[in-house]
Amino acid sequence: MKALVADPIGGPENLKYIDVPAPEPKEGQALVQVEAAGVNFIDVYFRTGFYKAPETPVMLGSEGAGTVVAVGPNVSIAVGTRVAWTMARGSYAEYAAVPATALVHLPDDIGFEQGAGAMLQGMTAHYLTRSTFPLQPGQTCLVHAAAGGAGLLIVQMAKLAGARVIGTVSTEVKAQLARAQGADETILYTKQDFLEEVKRITGGNGVDVVYDSVGQTTFHKSLDCLRARGMMVSFGQSSGPVGPIDPLILSQKGSLFLTRPSLANYISDSNDLHWRASELFEWLRAGRLHLHIQKAYPLADAAQAHRDLEGRKTTGKLILLP
């Protein structure tokens, strides 16, 4: 089969489109013919070696959708079932051996591209807005990178919860996209100081929560955007790691809360996984949630997808088609 691997780890030029043996499903695994794979920053982190993988060359792709074609021992999923998954690497390939516990049934009226594109960022947005800081009507959140794949979904789910949404974006085109998905206010951080704008918009009160996937360049100013006892949710680092933090700063800035959550810890229980996936698919089917897929690339062009993602040239979701 064809697969896309990082060999060796490094820049996008190190991605290789190669022939490898198709995996055989082991106990507890299902072999899935991959119809679409999502592109995410976690793939970049594994490609560069920021996240360590035990195998060489490094298999990429933490999100996908397809059809079960074989199963290993002790797997009850039927061959022919349409499925989607996340947090299991290997979807940058024509076939992937996926732990059965990571698979969810993909409804017949949701396409493979939608299924692959919704899993990682969709369930991330779900746990952030429903569990990490469960938004309530009347609360205000600040969403960084509000026109990105995760950002657009966070904006929409925050509005479903009845919250007020302020989003930061880099261009007016991205601002229009974020507003079209429900953002009440947008801030062009390339032209405006987002801290000053947040204080102006909130009348000096600050926001209840910041959802920050950017990291290094936004973290410290985001703390100043919070009201007393507000929560800083740092769930990504597209601009680089935040670095060491003195906990005393949280007290000095208003007894703030700080968390660095991971999707894996919010779907490790099968009940949580299926609850989040079922709500996500229900909202997509009902038209209450819209997944903006900006571009679908052939699997062989994954390097360009990575360049576009890292170059902040994208809005919404990027996917690969084996």
> CB neighbours of 17 closer than 8 A, spacing ≥ 6?
2, 3, 4, 299, 300, 302
pTM (two decimals): 0.94
* Predicted pLDDT of residue 176: 97
* Predicted pLDDT of residue 139: 98
Band of residue 305 on the pLDDT scale cut at 50, 70, 90: very high
- Map tokens 């974020």 to a residue: 178
Band of residue 238 on the pLDDT scale cut at 50, 70, 90: confident
Band of residue 312 on the pLDDT scale cut at 50, 70, 90: confident
> CB neighbours of 65 closer than 8 A, spacing ≥ 6?
34, 35, 36, 82, 83, 84, 85, 106, 112, 113, 115, 116, 119
Q: What element of type H or E holds 317?
A: strand 317-321
**Residue 195 main-chain phi, psi, to 5 deg:** -65, -45
* Predicted pLDDT of residue 316: 81
Contact call for residues 259 and 231 (beta carbons, < 8 A): yes
What Å distances lie between residue 70 and 1, 46, 66, 67, 201, CA to CA?
Answer: 15, 27, 12, 9, 55
Q: Where are the alpha helices (DSSP H) in 189-236?
A: 194-201, 219-223
The domain made up of 137-260 has a fold known as Rossmann fold (3.40.50)
| 196-208 pLDDT tens trace | 999 999 999 999 9
Any idea where the domains of the chain sit in the sequence?
A: 2-120+267-321, 137-260
Classify domain 2-120+267-321 at the CATH superfamily level. Medium-chain alcohol dehydrogenases, catalytic domain (3.90.180.10)
Q: Which amino acid makes up residue 21? A: P
Q: What is the 3-state secondary structure (H, E, C) of 98-152?
A: EEHHHCEECCCCCCHHHHHHHHHHHHHHHHHHHHHCCCCCCCEEEECCCCEHHHH
Q: What element of type H or E holds 97?
A: strand 95-99
